[in-house]
A and B are shown apart, each in its own frame.
Chain A
Amino acid sequence: MQPLRFATAGSVDDGKSTLIGRLLFDARALQADQLAAVEKASLRRGAAELDLSLVTDGLEAEREQGITIDVAYRYFATPVRKFIIADSPGHEQYTRNMATGASNADVLVLLVDVTKPLLPQSRRHLVIARLLGVRHAIAFVNKLDLAGYARAAFERVRGELESFAAPLRFDSLLAIPGSALRGDMVVERGERLDWYGGPTLLARLESLPGGADRAAAGPLRFPVQLVSPPRAGQPRSYMGRLESGHVLAGAPVVSLPGARATRVRRILVHGAERDIAVAGDSVSLVLADELDLARGDLIADAARPPRETRSLETTLIWLTARPLRPATRYLAQLGSRRVAARVSNVETRLDVDSLREIPFEGEVSANDIVNVRLALQAPVFADPYEDVRCTGALILIDEATNHTVGAALVK
């Protein structure tokens, strides 16, 4: 079974690090030397008891500032399932790193402080996660211990969350009351929340679907990573990972650019022949016809090919401090394909508080979410991001600095 990947997010001081520490501690995923290190660090900081937030904070710079700067990945398993946590920063300045964590996540775990109103940063996290295609969200409504474990306090936050998130149309959004500090409703139910009948955080995570089935149900998309030339009786083959759908030996396919029709003659997995490959498999394909494909080309479903286009309407998340410059040439990377791109038109900006698109003014700066048209020097093969991730997602690279400066989703 593919591991469930979840991203955690929350505003500063919502107790996110404590929650992850608690989850790992109660799920018995921490080992004696990690605990000893946390204990030592807790004492040094004058804490009276084990400070579980210290389990995850990794970098010196973070410890100095007391906040999480970058995504940290954690691994744990229960008898039911393996998990990958992308522990993402809460601070607004590091929203781009939160987007990094959410881009591969099946589930968002959002930390909300029951003693505060729903903060703009929490809304932003919900919006970015949904934008990036995360379908399931869990809001862990934390610090119930500071609110006397009162149901009314939880219901107020839940109401606020649900009314804000309704237009985002998550497949599921579940609010769970609890206390990361005291360990209520994380792995154990605790004794103070009898009025809550739903699952604990861990039980919920164990039951949610991963993203693999959805990718496998999509149309065939196979970006060519490398070409293996014909040699010693072996035919030319195309190496890559099937990113969407499945492929059967003998199936009709098209190659792009040019939408040339052919068939899959053989599917090779490390030299062994197979009848079928599904999304997620790294394979080599041999085609029936001699088409001279190269890295960056695409093999696709003959009945449902992507659009071949030099213009894309996208939602762009700007990831860097240097503002977007319409005159600058960027490189757009979509699958294995890289082409020069210009932002030809910035249309509107998404206001994450009201969820309204407002007319764009001024410059696009870090963490802005804008609707833009990209003009491309050569065609790319695209699908709406909501339908197919691999042909709907692209990054923009600054040609001068080589930095990854934007992440765009095809509409």
Chain B
Amino acid sequence: MLAERSHLDWLESEAIYILREVAGQCQNPVLFFSGGKDSICLLRLAEKAFRPGRFPFPLLNIDTGHNFPEVIAFRDRRAAELGERLVVRSVEDSIRRGSVRLRAEGESRNAAQSVTLLEAIAEFGFDAAIGGARRDEEKARAKERVFSFRDEFGQWDPRNQRPELWSLYNARVHPGEHVRVFPISNWTELDVWQYIRREALEVPAIYFAHRRAVVRRRGLVVPVTPLTPPRAGEPIEEVSVRFRTVGDVSCTCPVESSAVSIDEILEETKSATLTERGATRMDDQTSEASMERRKREGYF
């Protein structure tokens, strides 16, 4: 009878267990919902964990102001369909308050969102924040616990993580501290797409192939937007692309693709020769330790 349980069943069951531990241990949790594929899976897992009851947490999105409009529309619609509360806090407000200062107007706000995120956590007094990060994404993430402690400054201390044995998670914190919780830590990009197919989950249109004006820069396909204009001498092409990951417009690149269905995305994912972040993120390429440094400062 065990042989019938698939790999996805096992991952799903583990994630539900983790979500329920958050509900059982934490007073005031929140779930990060960006409208991206990983957090779309989190919402389905939360439905499976808590329905017919309501979710024991609101949804939170940090709006960098540099968004793909389709994703924002999808985010709002999905939250409304579920009948769950969505809280949006924006980097713009942090800029107005002076807690975020950018060197240039068009600069990537990806790192700046850590500030807004920590401000939101402080505003609501959240003691746990559930996110859709996966260990296969990036090498600093590969080291992260499922329940990952953050001090009163929101910092991750990779040298001094709480030991995490079996599935005995310790979410205890003092006031002002919190834990980040990653229910799909053990999922890979392929698992996420397989789950989206199995559960027939809707995803924003930008995950499917569409024609878009781009330039080619350092091996990346960079979309041409008001925030990411072409540089001098870069020819603009219109090519068929899709996004593998959805983040801040100013640092997220699509990949060339003709995949117009989930099945085709799965085929591409199986034969991909670049990792998800390697193919798509401008900000991770700046230094070997970009993600580690951002995470230490409270980044999601």
Contact = CB atoms under 8 A, between A and B. Distances in A.
B165 A393 contact: yes
B17 to A, nearest CB: 4
Contact of B52 (A33, A213, A231): A231
B9 to A, nearest CB: 8
B232 interface: no
Interface string A253-278: 00000000000000000110000101
Given A31-B274, A32-B273, A32-B274, A103 B2 contact: no
**Residue from B142, B163, B273 having most chain A Cβ neighbours under 10 A:** B163
Contacts of B12: 282
Interface in B127-145: 135-136, 139-140, 142-143
Interface string A82-119: 10100000000000110110011000000000000000
Nearest to A216: B2
B142 A60 contact: no
B292 interface: yes
Interface string B22-65: 01100000000000000000000001110111000000000000
A295 interface: yes
Contacts of B273: 31-32
A403 B51 CA distance: 33
A325 B162 CA distance: 19
A394 B47 CA distance: 29
A389 B278 CA distance: 39
A344 to B, nearest CB: 22
B163 A59 contact: no
Contacts of A402: 170, 172-174
Given A34-B278, A282-B20, A389-B166, A61 B158 contact: yes
A270 B47 CA distance: 8
B11 to A, nearest CB: 9
Contact of B143 (A31, A59, A280, A395): A59
A239 B13 CA distance: 12
A407 B165 contact: yes
A60 B289 contact: yes
B104 interface: no
Contacts of B16: 241, 282
A244 interface: no
A72 B139 contact: yes
Contacts of A100: 163-165
A311 interface: no
Interface string B170-213: 10111000000000011010000000000000000000000000
A82 B6 CA distance: 11
A271 B278 contact: no
Contacts of B292: 58-60
A97 B289 contact: no
Given A336-B24, A407-B165, A82 B7 contact: yes
A63 B5 CA distance: 40
A272 B186 CA distance: 26
B119 interface: no
Interface residues of B, number: 55
A395 B158 contact: no
Contacts of B48: 270, 282
Contacts of A271: 51-52
B162 A33 contact: no
A209 to B, nearest CB: 11
Contact of A97 (B140, B163, B188): B163
A281 B13 contact: yes
Given A58-B143, A103-B165, A407-B163, A75 B49 contact: no
B162 A403 contact: yes
A403 B157 CA distance: 13
Interface in A365-406: 389-390, 393-395, 397, 402-404
A246 B7 CA distance: 19
A167 to B, nearest CB: 24
A70 B161 contact: yes
Contacts of A84: 186
A41 interface: yes
Nearest to B16: A282
B279 interface: yes
Nearest to A34: B275
B166 A282 contact: no
B146 to A, nearest CB: 10
Contact of A333 (B140, B170, B186, B278): B170
Interface string A61-82: 1010000011111110000001
Given A1-B3, A389-B166, 7 more contacts: A31-B273, A60-B288, A73-B143, A132-B165, A228-B52, A240-B20, A280-B13
Interface of A: 1-3, 31-34, 37, 41, 56, 58-61, 63, 69-75, 82, 84, 96-97, 99-100, 103-104, 132, 212-213, 216, 225-226, 228, 231-232, 234, 239-241, 246, 270-271, 276, 278, 280-282, 295, 319, 331, 333-336, 389-390, 393-395, 397, 402-404, 407
The 10 closest A-B pairs by CB, nearest first: A33-B278, A58-B139, A103-B165, A282-B16, A402-B172, A270-B48, A225-B20, A282-B13, A72-B142, A241-B17
23 contacts: A1-B7, A2-B10, A31-B272, A33-B274, A58-B142, A59-B158, A70-B159, A74-B136, A75-B135, A231-B52, A240-B17, A241-B17, A278-B1, A278-B5, A280-B10, A331-B172, A393-B166, A394-B168, A397-B170, A402-B170, A402-B173, A403-B162, A407-B163
